[in-house]
A = this chain, B = another copy of it.
Amino acid sequence: MLAANRYGKSRVRLVKVSRLGDRHQLTEVTVNISLAGDFERAFTAGDNSAVLPTDTMKNTVYALAKDHSIAPLELFAMTLARHFVSTHAQASSATVTLLETPWHRATVEGKSHDHSFLRGSEERATCVARVENGEESWTSGIEGLVMLKTANSGFEGFPRDAYTTLAETGDRLFGTNLSGNWWYSEQTDFLDCRSRARTALIECFSRHQSRSVQHTLHAMAEEVLTRCPEVSKVHLALPNLHCLLVDLSPFDLSNENEVFVPVDEPHGSIEATVSR
């Protein structure tokens, strides 16, 4: 029995250059498309009569990118999702995920350049547009926002058992690689909402008197809800990217929270969803 299925095209990469006279705009996105619906006979009988090729999905991204703006991501993603369900009745749902690679204008003699760009950090703006049985919905998000604070972070008062060796500390480094998503209760200005949400996350992370990753995660999610009334729910994942204090005592040196080893593994994984 075929209990569930979906298929589509992943990692469709697109660069669009828009030319407003000499001032060029550069946008790079990676697109994933996934369809679900009445595709059962493809699985069970090898009948491809309903199977829109994933190669066609890729072509559709490029063709629609020609006459539609990529920004805001949420509208281009929904344009794609609507296209697939409206032209292919066998698809009861289409899910389109966009992930934007940031490019910033180069600075030349103190001015932002017209047509030269530097790639930004590993932070990505993301969104998911979904049409499912006629209902449209969005989530927006951020991936790869790496932050580290060097004060106002501790971890104390935790339970100890036979395998606990961790020391309590009122002053540690707190590094993370944030992934987050938010849901909307109403249509909005997506770019403006993204800007408010991102600022909320960064400012709250920076200012919070953190007693744990959990504690700060919750405050950050609340701050997004406060600044973004159109957002109904926030999911955040804050891995704890540890910076371990180096023991310099064998060399007769003290280490007053100055010298650390950053480690990629293992790492703490903390996530939560906060809704109104």
Contacts and interface: CB of A to CB of B under 8 A. Distances in A.
Interface in A257-276: 257-276
A188 interface: no
Interface stretch (A71-79, A132-140, A148-156, A189-197): A148-156
A159 B84 CA distance: 13
Contact of A17 (B60, B66, B173, B273): B173
Contacts of A246: 62
Interface in A14-62: 14-19, 22, 24, 26, 28, 32, 34, 39, 42-56, 58-60, 62
B150 A266 contact: no
Contact of A155 (B4, B53, B66, B211): B53
A155 B163 CA distance: 31
Nearest to A174: B116
A141 interface: no
Most-contacted residue by chain B among A7, A87, A108, A246 (CB, 10 A): A7
24 contacts: A5-B214, A9-B266, A10-B266, A11-B267, A15-B259, A17-B173, A32-B269, A42-B212, A42-B215, A44-B218, A48-B211, A49-B157, A49-B159, A52-B161, A62-B259, A115-B151, A116-B149, A116-B207, A118-B202, A119-B121, A119-B122, A119-B146, A119-B148, A165-B250
Interface of A: 1-19, 22, 24, 26, 28, 32, 34, 39, 42-56, 58-60, 62-63, 65-67, 87-88, 103, 106-109, 113-123, 145-152, 155-166, 173, 202-203, 205-207, 210-215, 217-218, 233, 239-240, 243, 246, 248, 250-251, 253, 255, 257-276
